[in-house]
Amino acid sequence: MTAMIRTIRTLLVAALATGAIASIVQTQLNLGELLRLGAPVTSSVRLWTTLEDLARFGPVMFGIAAAALLLAVLAGHWVLRFAPPSWRRFMFIAASVCGLAFVFWLMRSVIPMPALPGTRTAVGHGLMSLTGIVGGWLYARLTSSSKRSDSPGGGGRWREAAVVAVLLAAPAMLFFAMAPGAPDKPATVDRASYEVQTVATGLNRPWSVAFLPDGRVLVTEMGGRLLVIDTNGAASQIELDGLPPIFQQGGTAGLMEVVLDPQFERNGWLYLTMGYGEAAANGTRLVRATLKSDRIEEVRVLFSSTLKPRTGNNGGRIAFLGDETLVLSLGDGSERREEAQNPANDLGSLVRLDREGRPAADNPFIGKAGTAPEIYSLGHRNVQGIAVDPTTGDLLITEHGARGGDEINRIVPGGNYGWPVVTAGIDYPFAKVTPFTQLPGYQDAVLEWTPSIAPSGLAIYDGPLFPQWRGDLLVPALKERAVRRVVRNGQQIVDQQLLLSELDERMRDVKVAPDGSIYVLTDGVDAKLLRVMPGVRRG
């Protein structure tokens, strides 16, 4: 029993060393990318970022290394049954490197977002895997036959067990001490002030809502259906013959936005966004079509974004500006998030187009060599909410951060909104995306949420039914499972409240209907279309 506990202890020591070194390597890889983008990474910034990652990401990497080294140790012991003892050290080192490489590959294969930023490139994957040299060498050395044998009696066993407990508890305690705290929960909107009507049920991953002039509602489903829902809740399907192939993958890509042209009653045009391509090379496409009763005609592809190497972060929202040019949001490069800072392509940007899909003539990058002329702003991660303020004409967006760093931004033409050089968020495995939350030359967020609420839409209330809400922002949130009412006094944010939190549903989209009621789409494979109306006062 003592020998087994000692083996576990040795494995944990090797995993701790491997995890610490892998954390340091990943931090240097990440800071190297930021330096390439011009970020002011000084020696002191590098030191403190490395230490912070060691404290918060190091325990996560310890767990990954422990799993990889366990596989490596089992494989190494099996091979050594048939190999000479002189191969022992080499065998455990090789097995540890291969085990880490396999686990990193597996994580990249099954997790939609880049699981570990350090392994996004072949070079990074290789360097991170080579940290297994330390773990394999330590394991081989500490378990060599030259080390002292088990201590006699039960005292040695209890000492070894105590060491194992400390080796497990210390990283766990450090992780919980450094992990982001729980978000502050704002007050809820008075539930007597509104009532919720269920307009439709059984929707399969719905994404967007639009209102037809006759009062019916259009709803997209990511699987590739465009539904029209009557005032009595009856749903029928719009035939999408002529639509180009849609790249659809679960809840990360598919048919997304539907928006009517400002002159819809005259021209019948609607706009759709969708994924296109394949998993290893996919993007977002903008299509215009003419709606004719129960079908679309005259389908035309207006714009196809730069392809990215992984799914997720598609953007896909549309808004029309006052001059009737349209702005389309596009996600970053996912695996290559730094492309959001590259003006030569349109990843991680807002693009502004005329209604024929051409770059607007006065776009800020028009005529600049080496830049995409359609770009309106850049440095975005994944904008999934967009709306024009009817009072000021300002273009406002909401965008997903990673683990935190969700934002509301006011768009300045040509502005750089920072991702991934400037953000308050951290990576999903708790490593730093960047040490900078503000820098000269980058636009500051109007509002930021850390931890994340996962904002997936945006509407600005300007209807007659809730006069006290006029000018407020409505933000559906997937993770928070509510709609945030962001209360404004003019352009100043003065409060936040939760709407529909009692439903405990992921919220996908929100739109204000012409009559002033609020339509909300929940998210998922059995989702609903809800209508929020003023509450009936009794008594």
Other beta carbons less than 10 A from residue 137's beta carbon? 17
Calculate ∠ Cα 154-157-160, nearest 5°. 150
> How does the average pLDDT of the chain come out, rounded?
93
Answer whether residue 147 shows pLDDT above 60: no
Mean pLDDT of 394-399: 98
Answer with the residue of higher pLDDT: 151 or 268. 268
Q: Which of 158-172, 280-294, 323-337, 416-430 has the lowest mean pLDDT?
A: 158-172
SS3 194: strand
Q: What is the pLDDT of residue 110?
A: 81
Give the residue-averaged pLDDT of 340-351: 97
Segment among 138-147, 148-157, 257-266, 461-470 with least mean pLDDT: 148-157
The better pLDDT of the pair 409, 155 is held by 409
Q: Is 0.75 topped by the overall pTM?
A: yes
Q: What would the DSSP string read from start to end of 121-190?
A: SHHHHHHHHHTHHHHHHHHHHHTSTTS--PPSHHHHHHHHHHHHHHHHHHHHHHHHHHSPPPPPPPEEPP
**Residues 443 and 418: beta-carbon distance below 8 Å:** yes
Looking at the predicted structure, is the pLDDT value of residue 152 above 70? no
Instruction: Estimate to the nearest angstrom the gap between the alpha carbon of 4 and the chain centroid.
Output: 42
Cα–Cα dist 177/155, whole Å: 32
The kind and range of the H/E element at 71 are helix 58-80
**Measured distance CA(241)–CA(225) in Å, rounded:** 11
Supply angle C-alpha 403, 408, 411, rounded to 5.
Answer: 130
In DSSP terms, which residues pair with 235 in a beta bridge? 229
Give per-residue pLDDT as tens, 210-265: 999 999 999 999 999 999 999 888 999 999 999 999 999 988 899 999 999 999 99
pLDDT of residue 17: 95
Question: What pLDDT score does 304 carry?
Answer: 98
Q: Is the pLDDT of residue 539 over 50?
A: no
Mean pLDDT of 37-61: 96
In the chain, what are the domains? 2-178 (no CATH), 187-534 (2.120.10.30)
Q: Would you state the pLDDT for residue 2?
A: 67
Question: pLDDT tier at 285 (50, 70, 90 boundaries)?
Answer: very high
pLDDT band at 1 (very low <50, low <70, confident <90, very high): low
State pLDDT tens for residues 177-200. 887 777 778 999 999 999 999 999
Q: Give the per-residue pLDDT at 177.
A: 86
pLDDT of residue 163 exceeding 90, the answer is no
Residue 60 in this model has a pLDDT that exceeds 60: yes
Confidence grade of residue 363 (pLDDT, cut at 50, 70, 90): very high
Asked if pLDDT for residue 4 goes beyond 80, the answer is no
Q: Which residues contact 343 (CB under 8 A, 6 or more apart)?
A: 365, 368, 370, 371, 372, 375, 378
Instruction: Specify burial of residue 508 (Cβ count, 10 A radius: 0-12, 13-18, 19+).
Output: buried
Distance in angstroms (rounded) separating the CA atoms of residues 345 and 520: 34
Asked if 346 contacts 421 with a C-beta cutoff of 8 angstroms, the reply is no
